Amino acid sequence: MAYFFTSESVSEGHPDKIADQISDALIDNFLAFDENSKVACETLVTTGQVILAGEVKSNTYLDVQQIARDVIKKIGYTKSEYMFDANSCGILSAIHEQSADINQGVDKANKEEQGAGDQGIMFGYATTETEDYMPLALDLSHKLLQELAELRRENNEITYLRPDAKSQVTLEYDDDNKPKRVVTIVLSTQHDDFVKPENNSVEAKNTAEKTMQDQIKKDIVSILIPRLLKKYPQYQPYFNQEITYHINPTGVFIIGGPHGDTGLTGRKIIVDTYGGKGAHGGGAFSGKDPSKVDRSAAYAARYIAKNLVAAGVADELLVQVSYAIGIAEPMGVFVNTYGTAKVNLTDGEIADKLQQLFDLRPYHIEQTLKLRKPIYSETAAYGHMGRKNEVVNKTFKNPNGEEKTIEVELFTWEKLDKIDAVKQAFNL
């Protein structure tokens, strides 16, 4: 039966994503100078203010205020009129030492017996809908905002953009569960007050706002959308002239960022994962070192799901892993192929077989996916899944004047290096 499905994304300038990026920048800096650091860091951002809180066990010292300011500056909050400025916002740190009760369950004499940093359930998902094995609606939502951010930084074709933005894409699916077309695109972008009212009357104010809204919609449809489709031609078949666009549907969006809404770490967990497809265990990622299975096991589950789908085990696949705090072995592994399996095995049998291919103990996840490296800042906006696996150099400085340049591999959980092993195990 045909149906509609919707996913949303938010830009790097969204208040919740500012918080995520600050928290993950702290993780990266701690790991750069002490890869054994244990960190759980939450960030709150509001008008002119940043509050950092959390628990840390590390042998390094950081200037957390400067790290936060660098992140805010990089995002683009550099003007006082935004009411949130990298140079002038207040930053309060309430970071303290990690609980010894938690630490004793994680650190073990034998590293392979390292316990999970918390109890919980984590999910990984993959689908053949897109080349990166991600749901199409979320993929499009992310890419719309990434292109919008590029237009903002170029400040050429569109010159009034501010950092805060949200997108939403609704798809129509056919009877065979395949995406058929884009039905609706919702996009709200913060902008300068670039048309002033002729006088102080309500009518003049409404006219100015309508003029701005019309200009923004025109630019989104005639500049952003063609640019997106030129860069990603594989999406062109889903676009036509009948798409409904809701661009800045409230009329104006001048007040935005942390001045418009308070932002908190970990409030965009569906944006971070699969846009509502598959499932979510409820645990956020940003601000957590990889001993926290909320993060590392979710990455491992994505790694498993993607490699199984790419190998041809199923067209769509969900993996669930569960843990108890302080215990290395997972409590259970669950698989759902949604009836798309291409092997003559039940979902339970697939779950049993994948455990022979993938070691899901926390220490082995960390080692396999190289999670003790400073790789997390790049994950904190536009999704943790479906991103490009690449090797980059990153440079870090601490208050003692020490500088480190480290070669790291980003998004290791997106690698398809287990396909051959999966095919052999499943006789594909």
Asked whether residue 288 is marked as a ligand-binding residue, the answer is yes
* C-alpha to C-alpha distances, 37 to 79, 230, 251, nearest whole angstrom: 34, 43, 46
Asked whether residue 284 is marked as a ligand-binding residue, the answer is yes
User: Within 13 A of 339's CA, how many CA atoms are on the CB side?
Assistant: 2
The DSSP output letter for 242 is T
**Residue owning tokens 């991600």:** 134
Asked whether residue 267 is marked as a ligand-binding residue, the answer is yes
Which residue, 304, 364, 409, is CA-closest to 116? 364
The DSSP output letter for 338 is T
Q: Pairing between strand 403-410 and 316-323?
A: unpaired
Asked whether residue 28 is marked as a ligand-binding residue, the answer is no
Asked whether residue 397 is marked as a ligand-binding residue, the answer is no
Asked whether residue 306 is marked as a ligand-binding residue, the answer is no
Instruction: Work out the burial of residue 167: count CB atoms within 10 Å of its CB; fewer than 13 is exposed, 13-18 middle, 19 or more buried.
Output: buried
Asked whether residue 217 is marked as a ligand-binding residue, the answer is no
Q: Pairing between strand 263-264 and 38-46?
A: antiparallel
* Residue 308 · residue 354 · CB < 8 Å: yes
Asked whether residue 142 is marked as a ligand-binding residue, the answer is no
In sequence order, the 6+-apart residues with CB closer than 8 A to the CB of 206 are none
Asked whether residue 261 is marked as a ligand-binding residue, the answer is yes
310 alpha-carbon distance from chain centroid: 22
User: Within 13 A of 427's CA, how many CA atoms are on the CB side?
Assistant: 4
Torsion of CA 307, 312, 317, 322, to 10 degrees: -40
- The SS3 assignment for 13 reads coil
Do you know the residue count of the chain?
428
Q: Residue 105 carries which side chain, given as an amino acid letter?
A: G
Asked whether residue 268 is marked as a ligand-binding residue, the answer is yes
In sequence order, the 6+-apart residues with CB closer than 8 A to the CB of 207 are 197, 198
* C-alpha to C-alpha distances, 352 to 218, 331, 337, 393, 425, nearest whole angstrom: 53, 13, 14, 38, 11
Asked whether residue 57 is marked as a ligand-binding residue, the answer is no
Q: Provide the β-strand partners of residue 211.
A: none
Q: Which residues are annotated as a binding site?
A: 14, 16, 42, 55, 98, 164-166, 261, 267-268, 284, 288, 292
Binding residues for ATP, as ranges, are: 14, 164-166, 261, 267-268, 284, 288
Binding-site residue ranges for Mg(2+): 16
The binding site for L-methionine consists of 55, 98, 261, 292
Residues in binding site for K(+): 42
